Structure 1
């Protein structure tokens, strides 16, 4: 499948709701360094939100390699293993205006889905993606909700 919309199941994962039930999901955001090497960063459901099936928002730490790469290229590939599929989503990103009253300092980006490819194999099932355990889930999930709220402004 190659299109410009994320699936409904992926939208449901990224809709910014019920973060406590999604806290173990970790995803990858790939960008390109200045010397043309792929750079991989892990992100969580507290750093990305789907506004709909074609538009996402991301909140990234400032002054990181990932953020610098996006500011330079305006591109990234979002990779998530979910619901028995590998999802590869190419994104075109634009920096959002910083929020003067943000609770959490993040670089915020709007992302337009450029293309989506869902990958499965006839001979094997994808049974899991990257899974994490939060060390202080109450604090982290509270922060995630605050970040998602700020991303949607």
Structure 2
């Protein structure tokens, strides 16, 4: 079974969100028509619970949530520390919380394959970067979301 490298486990450990607030990644799923569908997720929606298991919080009515619910599969693409990392995931819905702060659909994701991509002739200098419009408010929401993911 694939394992998260230490640096990705550190990215997804749910701690120090302030310093990671600009990191975003692509979550790919397969549409009903069989085409790739891409969504953006942040460190406030993904948390590692071990070196081969993540939990994700997604908006319940999104196309991505529907695709993952239907197929149980996704790929998380992360550009971090000069590397492109492709995480193949098998996902299952987690039980709904009785009184969640945010109406998010929670999934447990088992890492089935990991591919790390680098090139000898070029360096990856950045990945998907975001600038939060109201970082204080968003960071609080992310922290609460991650706390609920760990329940």
- TM-score, L = length of structure 2: 0.99
* 1:133 aligned residue: 131
* 1:95 aligned residue: 93
Supply the distance in 1 between the matched residues of 2:121 and 2:101 (Cα, whole angstroms): 47
Supply the distance in 2 between the matched residues of 1:127 and 1:53 (Cα, whole angstroms): 25
Q: Secondary structure at the match of 2:14?
A: coil
Q: Secondary structure at the match of 1:68?
A: helix
Q: Secondary structure at the match of 2:84?
A: strand
* 1:27 aligned residue: 25
Q: Secondary structure at the match of 1:130?
A: coil
State the 4+ residue runs in structure 1 displaced beyond 4 angstroms: none
Query: Unmatched 5+ residue regions in structure 2?
Result: none
Q: 1:136-147 residue pairs with structure 2 within 5 A? A: 136-147=134-145
Supply the distance in 1 between the matched residues of 2:19 and 2:99 (Cα, whole angstroms): 28
Q: Secondary structure at the match of 1:138?
A: helix
Q: Secondary structure at the match of 1:51?
A: strand
Give the superposition deviation at 1:101: 1.1
How many residue pairs get aligned? The number is 151
* 2:75 aligned residue: 77
Supply the distance in 1 between the matched residues of 2:84 and 2:50 (Cα, whole angstroms): 20
* 1:16 aligned residue: 14
- TM-score, L = length of structure 1: 0.97
Tell which deviates more after alignment, 3-12 or 19-28. 3-12
Give the superposition deviation at 1:6: 1.2
Query: Unmatched 5+ residue regions in structure 1?
Result: none
Give the superposition deviation at 1:29: 0.1
Q: What do the CA deviations read for 1:40-70 (whole angstroms, capped 9, x no partner)?
A: 0000000000111100000000111000000
Q: What do the CA deviations read for 1:86-109 (whole angstroms, capped 9, x no partner)?
A: 000000000001101110110000
How large is the Cα RMSD of the aligned pairs?
0.6
